[in-house]
A and B are shown apart, each in its own frame.
Chain A
Amino acid sequence: MSKNTFEGSMKRLEEIVEQLDSGKLSLDESLKIFEEGIELSNACSEKLKQAEKRIKTLLKKEDGNFQLELVSF
């Protein structure tokens, strides 16, 4: 999931809860979007669990390419 879709996923999840709340959907539709909601919730949780604290320095090499070097602070 890219940075854009994390926010997108959260928004969709909020939408789903709202729709379930409204009670306007049939049981079939409700079950379908509920499943979608659980999947989104799981994916978002995974993203939040990343906890590796990485710091790198950007170096431009002579050939114009970039290199990242790990640093510790």
Chain B
Amino acid sequence: MMMIVVTKEDFSVDGVLNELRSREMGALVTFVGLVRGRSQGRDVDRIEIQVYEEMAKAQLEAIREEAMEKYGVEEVAIVHRYGSLKVSENIMMIAVGAGHRPEGFEACRFVLERIKESVPIWKKEITPEGDFWVEGEEHGRKD
């Protein structure tokens, strides 16, 4: 199985989990990110996700390896979509296979926070009031 996937297509959460299972795992900690129908006080019709694909894949692979080493988990899979996504669709998924739950939860949180910091992917919210880029937690724009 490919442990890092960047795709326009939707994915099956069960499909990813079933490919990840192994004898060493006592826990599969899973995070699934969805398109929220409301953001920053506005209704959202859909979102568009842009990706710098080559760099994003390399960054995701580095985060995966860092998480496995740092937390000693068995396996990490990351799927992230791009393109046009409707409200409630899957945006991304992280699955961490671990011997036990503590390191599984910690590794999953670590992977998510690192993605939000450093993987070159951007969301644009398409709303009745116009289109708005979401710019990281550090707010790129001065206004």
Q: Do A and B come from one complex?
A: no
Residues of chain B at the chain A interface (Cβ within 8 Å): none
Residues of chain A at the chain B interface (Cβ within 8 Å): none
